[in-house]
Structure 1
C-alpha cells in the first residue's frame, strides 16, 4: 500500500508541471502608462509622491472608454484624481513627446490627449497592435503655463481604455 502512495505522488509530481505548462495563459493584469514625462502613476511607482495601490501597478489604470478622470474611474487609484497631492510638474515646450510604456500590448483604435476637457491631439492606430513603447509628438498650440494632460489609450477589442494624467508647465 505504501509503495502505491509513493508511486502516485511521484506520478503527480511529474504530471502536474506538464499540465500547468500546457494550459492556456490567462489575460494579463498589466497594460500601460505614460513614463515620460512622468505621469502621476509613474511618480507613484518611483516614490516621488506617496500613493496607495497604484505604487505597485502604474500600468493598471483601466476603465470604460469616455471617462475624464486620472483614475479611470477606479476607486483603488482615486489618489490620481487629487490635484492637491503635490505632483511634480515637468517643464515642456509647446510641442512635447509623450512616451507610453506598455506591459501588455492591445490592438488600439486611438490614443488621445486632452487639456481642460478639450482634445489637443489624437493618433489613430486603426486597430494595430503596438510595440512595448509608443511615442507621440503632441502640440500644445497656444496653451501656456501649468496644465494637466489626460492621455487615453483606447483599446480596439474591449470597451475599456487606459488613462494617465501628466502635470506639465508649457513654456
Structure 2
C-alpha cells in the first residue's frame, strides 16, 4: 500500500470516529413537535401571529408541554410563563354554549384523551383511543352553564409519555 493511500485510509477512519462526537457536541435545533389550538385562536396562536407580544412561544407555539395534571396555560414551563398572564391583552372569541376547537398537530403522539376545563371544572373530555391523531383535530366542546368571559384550558394527554400539551383560549360565552 502506498503512502498516499495509507494517509487517505487514516483520514477516513479518523472521520468515522470523530463524526458521532462532533454530532453530539453541536447544539440541538428547535424541535418541530407537538400541538396547539389554532381555532379559535389560542394564546400561543396569538403569540405566533404577532397579535400579542410574547417571548419564545412566538417561534414554537406547539411546544407547551409539561407533566400531566397541571392547570396552567404554560404547562408549568417557565419559558412560556407569559401564557399564564391573564392581563396580557388576549383577544377574546364570542361563542354560544358550544365551541369547535381545532388543534394543529406537528408531531402526532398516541393520545389518551383531550380534556377541557374552565377554572378547575372539567367541562368536556374526548377519548383519544390510544391512537395517533391526524395533523388537524377538531372537537365540539360543550361549555356547561358558564357565561361571560372565561378562559378555556385544553389539555392533550399523551398515551406514551408522562406529559401533556397545554393550550388556553379566551372566550366570551353568550
TM-score normalised to structure 1 length? 0.85
Q: Equivalent residue for 2:71? A: 68
Q: Equivalent residue for 2:27? A: none
Q: Equivalent residue for 2:159? A: 156
Q: Pick from 108, 111, 115 the counterpart of residue 112 of structure 1.
A: 115
The within-5 A match list for 1:4-83 is: 28-83=31-86
1:124 has 2:124 as partner: no
Instruction: Measure, in 2, the Cα distance between the counterparts of 1:146 and 1:49.
Output: 18
Shift of 1:140: 1.1
- Contact 2:32/2:106 (CA < 8 Å) preserved in 1? no
**Deviation string, structure 1 residues 31-59 (Cα, Å, up to 9, x no partner):** 00000000000000000000000000000
1:88 has 2:69 as partner: no
Shift of 1:126: 2.2
Aligned length: 159
**Deviation string, structure 1 residues 58-93 (Cα, Å, up to 9, x no partner):** 000000000000000000000000000000000111
Larger radius of gyration: 2
1:142 has 2:151 as partner: no
Shift of 1:6: 7.8
The DSSP-based 3-state class of the residue aligned with 1:105 is coil
Shift of 1:141: 2.1
Instruction: Measure, in 1, the Cα distance between the counterparts of 2:137 and 2:10.
Output: 51
Q: Which runs of 4+ in 1 moved over 4 A?
A: 1-10
Q: Equivalent residue for 1:23? A: none
- Gap regions ≥5 residues in structure 2: 24-30
- Gap regions ≥5 residues in structure 1: 21-27
TM-score normalised to structure 2 length? 0.83
Instruction: Measure, in 1, the Cα distance between the counterparts of 2:11 and 2:44.
Output: 46
- RMSD after superposition: 2.1
Shift of 1:137: 0.3
